[in-house]
Structure formats: C-alpha cells, structure tokens
Structure 1
C-alpha cells in the first residue's frame, strides 16, 4: 500500500514584536508573583516578630507634644521653661483628639508619629480620644457623632497599618468603660468601641481598653463592665490609672484581680503623675503631685509594662485653678517636675 504524503503546512513565523511583548508580559507576571510572595513573607516575619509591650519598652517622645510646643515658645518663667524642656524629652503617649487632629489630618499625624518612632528606635503609643459623648459631659466633654467617629478611627487604622514595621500601642478611649455605668450607655459605647477595634487592629498593634483604676470600681464590678463589651478576645488588655494618681503597687494588684476574673487579660499602667501617690479622692488637678517612674520600668506576667499615658503638665480640667482640660498648664508642669530639675 502506497504511503500517503501529506503536504507540509507552511510554518508560521511569529512577528518579533509579539515575541518581545510576550516576553515582557511573562517577566512582568514573574515580577508581580515575586512581589506578592515577598510581601507575604514580610508580613509573616512581621507577625512572627511582633512582641507585646514589656519591661524596657520605650515609646516616642513626640516633637509636637504640648510640652515640646511650650519649650519652643519659652514663654514661662525659668522653672516653667525648664519643666517644659525636660518634659518634651520624655517618652509619652500622644493623644489623638478630633479637635486637634480632625479626620482630614489624623492620617498625617499618625504617619508623622510613626516616622518619629523609626528615628527614635521606639514604639508608638497613642491614646484615641474622640468617642461620641466623650467624658459624659464632664471636663473633657466632646467627641464625634457615630458616623464621623467611624471615619476618624478608620483613618487612624489605615495609618497604623501603613506602619507595620513598628510596634504600636493604642490606649482606646480612656474613661469610656469606667464611666459607662454613670452615663447609662454601656451598650452604645460597646458598639462604638467595637467599630474602633475593628478599624484599628493590625500587625504589631496592641490595643488596651479603659480599665479605670484601683480606687474607682471594685474589680468584680469593673470586670462585669469589661465583659459586657464583648471585646476582650480582640484586644491585648486594659489600661489602668490613665490620667490618675494611684500608687503603682495598688494598680499592679488591681490588674491581677481583673486578670483573675477575666481569663488572664493583660494591662498597662499609667505612671506619668503618680510619683507622690494620690491626694485622697481628689482626681482633678490635685496639688503636690510628682511625675512617676519612667515608662518601661516595671512589668510582670499580667502587667505588660508601665507607661506615661497622660502627658504631665496638661490640665485635668477647670478645677483647683486649672485651665480647660488638656490645656498646657506651666505652673502644674513646674510642680510635677520639681524634683527632676
């Protein structure tokens, strides 16, 4: 049987331009794949390398703190200027408020603080303080409406996630939970805080809810308030003694009592102004107080560390001769630092 010879099909030549384009597409795809893998590896290492705050944690000394602004202005007497200068160098939590850092500016503020953290080889510590019905109409009354609060905390969270390479400590809404029983708004506040936690959490970000202090609510009562938020599984723990003057030892004991009742939560303790202890039950600008131990001095299995959260030299409110809450008060700064200069 004769073999049939099929005619050969003419060989098509692929235009050189198409070959080049195809090669570029393949190379671009490979580069993109490598970038994705690299990003995943970087995120994995950042996640594995994330460590909670601990003894020796050093936080940023913000260059735009009110102490730093007062030091640059130099408008006080010799003691007041020296106090401002010294306080401006101390690692202290920066308070984000919508009055000073509104929604269209807060991203830039957090980015600037993150850059400072890199320069200072420090952690970033911020207090987020813009809750609707903030401070229940007391000295620090204010805050945002619910929709604006959601947008504001969303911008904060975006900026924090953009700084995944540094450690971030977030003290979320001081006094918000401890005040809730007197404001009658625990469920409303829990809803706002839930939105804030969802917006803010991310890699190497350690969130602490308001835990009051040892002379406010008994541990069982405070534990019930915290439990009612349904947030404890989504945060690191609680912040204690914020803007107050209680002894460090009393706050350690309180932290352990709360942790025992709440399944082992952790805490940070504010020691910015408790160097002379409390002044009885007076919490609003009591006289004769002193700055406390520097942040990063103490910690144990429950207390991650102490920090300076309330900036020394800022008023608690219009009481005992003080100006509006949060305002720089040169005389108070001088008194608080009288043994440091």
Structure 2
C-alpha cells in the first residue's frame, strides 16, 4: 500500500529543501535589491554629474602655498601680508606633484581636498604634474620614471573615485604635449598620458589635456598632438593658457579653433594671471602682470569655463628675479594683486 505521508527521513529532507529554497529566494531577492540600488546610485551619480560651467567654483585649498606662507617663514611686510591673504582666499587649483605628494601620501591629500570641497560646496580642481621628463629639463624639471608614474597616477585615480559625491576637475600635465615636439618624446608622452587618463577616469571626473595657448603652437599642430593620444572619447577636452598670460579673448578664439579640429572637444582656460595680457613672448615671470577674472566667470558652448589653474604668487622659475619654479614669491604676489586689494 502506498503511504499517505512520506517517511520521517523524507519529511525531514523536504523541510530542508523548503527552508533552503526560501533562503535561496530571499538571498536572490536581497541580491537583486542590492544590484538595483547599486545601479540606481550609479545612475543618480551619472545624472547629477555636470561638467564645469559658468558659475563653477573650485575649492580654496588650505594647503596652498599662499595659505602656508601666512604661517611659515619670515614675517612678510604689510603689503605682502595683504597680497598673500587675498590670494590664499581665492578658488585655485591644487598642483599634485610627486615631490610634495608622492604615491604613499597622495591619497590623503586628495581626501583632504575632497573634504574641503564638501565643506565649501565647491568642485575639487587638481593639476597632475609629474610625468617622466617633466618640462623637458627646464625650470620645472623632475617627475617620475614610467613605472612609478603609472603607480602614482593609479593612486590618484583611486582617490578621485573614492570622492564619489564631489565634482572633480583634472588638468593633466600642462605643457606635456605642446613641448613634446621640442623634447622629441611624443611617442612616450602619448603612452604616459593615455595610461594616466585610464587611471583617473571616473564618475563626475572631468579631464582636460594640455592645449598649449594661443601664442604657442598653431591650432592645427596642437590638435594633431592632442588627437594622437587617442583618448578624446575618455576626456572632456583640453586646457589652455596654463601658467601663461594670454588674454581671455585670444584664448576663447584659440579654443574654438581647436574644438572644431577635435570634433567638439571642450576647454577650460587659465585666467589666473592674464589681467594685463602678455608681455610679448616672455613667459617666465614677466613684470607688470595682474591676476585675471575669477574662475567661473566666462564660458560658452566650447569653453566650459575659465579657472585659476596656476596659483598666482608662485614663481615660474629662476628668471626675472624669481626663485625656483613653484616657490612662493611675495613680491610677485604684491605686483599681481595691486589693482584688486
């Protein structure tokens, strides 16, 4: 006779299967919820990600050389104090170099900058400046070898991606492309910059390559150099006038030329020291210059906005009476701010 109910051992097996099945179903449901939540978060991040534009304000870094000059070194004069205080309070990009922020410290630096950006409701703006053969051995010579550069930029990228809720602007290696024909290392630069772009790509991270400036290379040559890196599908565009003095109107015209040649790539323009325009072809601490319009003042369908990229008051190098490149120079701070203090 066929039993009306399963034996005890079979009942126990069924109970295990039922409980296990329920557990599997719950686990599957939880996994689905997590997956949806993750994708929703990513989607929200992508929707909320906006490129720099008119009105974009970048962080005022408390670790800038202007801010540090107020508490370090010899007491400045009253004029130097006023100039330094003014510049220390301006939204300005922070320059990441391996000399000051090596691979074992750069994460903490970016985390601190990101925290400041949150507190100030601002964007995080950094200049990455450490590739091999930096500045072709000129005033800002230095940088890392290829292996260490890959490690350093990977660490920067990880730190930037960790700052998920902060808009991030990256100006990648000023002068690296415009100087490459003179340095004779374009092939190496291409590989280095492409690797750096891969390392730093992330949500709400807007990367701008070196675009030279309007009085340097012709737009056609500069466009060829940028295009040759092969990363236009992974970057926002290019930065012009970094650490230079060309007028904003000249840079807008140049950016539009480049953009047309580069299938609509966008630009940011450095206006930190172009308030008096250039001094002929002089680029290294030319006298009589002035700070330019604050970041976030200008923009159009090509130029996302202008920014203060080169910190005013930092020397271009040992020329025209200046100290070494990147060193705080109080006299220059006074001169640059003479019309705004």
TM range (shorter): over 0.9
Cα distance in 2 for residues equivalent to 1:307 and 1:35:
39
Larger mean CA deviation between 96-105 and 212-221 belongs to: 212-221
| CA gap 1:83/1:261 in 2 versus in 1, 3 angstroms | same
In structure 1, runs of 5+ residues without a counterpart are none
Give the CA deviation at 1:224: 1.7
Cα distance in 2 for residues equivalent to 1:274 and 1:229:
29
Cα distance in 1 for residues equivalent to 2:326 and 2:314:
5
Which residue in 2 is equivalent to 1:59?
58
Larger mean CA deviation between 263-272 and 70-79 belongs to: 70-79
Which residue in 2 is equivalent to 1:202?
202
Give the CA deviation at 1:18: 11
TM-score, length basis structure 2: 0.94
* C-alpha RMSD of matched pairs (Å): 2.1
TM-score, length basis structure 1: 0.94
Which residue in 2 is equivalent to 1:39?
38
Q: In the TM superposition, what whole-angstrom CA distance separates every residue of 1:189-242 from its partner, at most 9, and x where no partner exists?
A: 000000000000111111000000000011112112222222222211110000
SS where residue 80 of structure 1 aligns? helix
Which residue in 1 is equivalent to 2:223?
223
| CA gap 1:87/1:17 in 2 versus in 1, 3 angstroms | farther
Which residue in 2 is equivalent to 1:110?
110
| CA gap 1:7/1:237 in 2 versus in 1, 3 angstroms | closer
Pairing 1:10–2:7 present: yes
Q: In the TM superposition, what whole-angstrom CA distance separates every residue of 1:76-130 from its partner, at most 9, and x where no partner exists?
A: 1111111111111100000000000000000111111111111110111100000
Give the CA deviation at 1:19: 9.9
In structure 2, runs of 5+ residues without a counterpart are none
Give the CA deviation at 1:17: 12
Cα distance in 2 for residues equivalent to 1:293 and 1:35:
46
Cα distance in 2 for residues equivalent to 1:152 and 1:21:
48
Give the CA deviation at 1:50: 1.2
Give the CA deviation at 1:35: 3.0
Which residue in 2 is equivalent to 1:336?
336
Give the CA deviation at 1:8: 4.1
Cα distance in 1 for residues equivalent to 2:2 and 2:145:
85
Give the CA deviation at 1:13: 4.9
Q: In the TM superposition, what whole-angstrom CA distance separates every residue of 1:268-299 from its partner, at most 9, and x where no partner exists?
A: 00000000110111100011111000000000
Write the mapping of 1:132-143 to structure 2, written as runs, cut at 5 A: 132-143=132-143
Give the CA deviation at 1:340: 1.6
